[in-house]
């Protein structure tokens, strides 16, 4: 999945803005209050619709009654667009479900219901809201914290974020289940009156196959995790370099004035 553009109308400090993302590394640079965080908030809202807190007060421009976000992304060669809107009524801000639409190319695949859009988004991209908010949208201080902790603790945190701990538990449980089946099979094989031996054998074989499949899947995910961790380090270094450049530019600007 690669985000191409996000259009913001009456979102925080943005009256009407269009932000384009290129292939590769993208970085939002600007001083305090220039709308960098607003773009991230808008992306999160477009994808998932839920507020980050109890309400949408942080998102809709103060002097506006209607706000809108349109997000376009590419996945597996296809273009997708999600459109969401906010409406202020009686001093309360809510999502305007009439404006909610999800397109695959030009085809409308979900609309008017958060659940329908979420179901399609998950099926198409596999994107998880919790994972997005905790890892893909990594706050700067959280990124530094993640990189500064001990390797074992960082691995544990990443395993939890990617859901690998669930695979570890399943792997362990299947291993124990396989051993139990094997013991039961050995006992039953000695009893010639037992007619369920074939059924037990089939269940045991299925457990072994499932154990092997999970093992391969776990190894594949761990390889991808190593690659993502390396990318995370590179991003942190680029961010640090850009921050230094920005600080120098701001210092030079202050000297001129």
CA distance 137 to 194: 58
CA distance 130 to 222: 20
pLDDT in tens, 233-244: 777 777 778 778
pLDDT in tens, 177-234: 667 777 776 766 666 555 566 677 777 778 778 877 887 887 787 787 777 777 777 7
- Structural tokens at position 44: 């999160």
User: 86 φ, ψ to 5°?
Assistant: -120, 150
Place of tokens 């990318």: 231
pLDDT grade, residue 89 (50/70/90)?
very high
Contact 238, 180 (CB under 8 A): no
SS3 call for 62: coil
Q: Which residues of 76-113 are buried (b: 16+ CB within 10 A; e: fewer)?
A: eeeebbbbbbbbbeeeebebeeebbbbbeeeeebbeee
DSSP run (H or E) holding 114: helix 114-125
Contact 147, 233 (CB under 8 A): yes
pLDDT in tens, 62-75: 999 999 999 999 99
Q: Where are the beta strands (DSSP E) in 135-175?
A: none
CA distance 165 to 124: 24
Q: What is the mean pLDDT of residues 246-250?
A: 80
CA distance 39 to 13: 10
Highest-confidence range of 33-37, 120-124, 202-206, 236-240, by mean pLDDT? 120-124
């Amino acid at each position: 999945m690669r985000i191409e553009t996000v259009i913001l109308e009456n979102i925080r400090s943005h009256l009407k803005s269009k932000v384009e993302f290129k292939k590769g590394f993208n970085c939002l640079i600007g001083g305090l209050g220039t709308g960098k965080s607003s773009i991230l908030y808008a992306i999160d809202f477009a994808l998932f619709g839920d507020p980050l807190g109890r309400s949408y007060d942080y998102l809709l421009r103060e002097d506006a009654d209607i706000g809108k976000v349109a997000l376009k992304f590419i996945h597996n060669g296809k273009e997708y667009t999600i459109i969401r809107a906010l409406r202020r009524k009686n001093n309360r801000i809510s999502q305007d479900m009439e404006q909610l639409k999800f397109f695959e190319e030009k085809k409308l695949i979900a609309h008017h219901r958060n659940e329908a859009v979420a179901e399609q988004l998950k099926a198409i991209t596999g994107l998880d809201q919790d994972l997005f908010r905790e890892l893909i949208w990594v706050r700067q201080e959280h990124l530094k914290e993640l990189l500064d902790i001990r390797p074992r603790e960082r691995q544990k945190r990443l395993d939890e974020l990617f859901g690998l701990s669930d695979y570890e538990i399943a792997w362990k449980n299947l291993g124990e289940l396989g051993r139990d089946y094997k013991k039961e099979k050995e006992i039953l094989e000695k009893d010639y009156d037992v007619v369920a031996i074939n059924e037990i054998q089939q269940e045991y074989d299925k457990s072994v196959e499932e154990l092997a499949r999970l093992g391969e899947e776990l190894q594949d995910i761990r390889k991808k995790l190593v690659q993502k961790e390396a990318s995370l380090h590179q991003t942190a270094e680029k961010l640090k370099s850009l921050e230094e450049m920005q600080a120098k530019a701001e210092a030079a600007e202050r000297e001129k004035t």
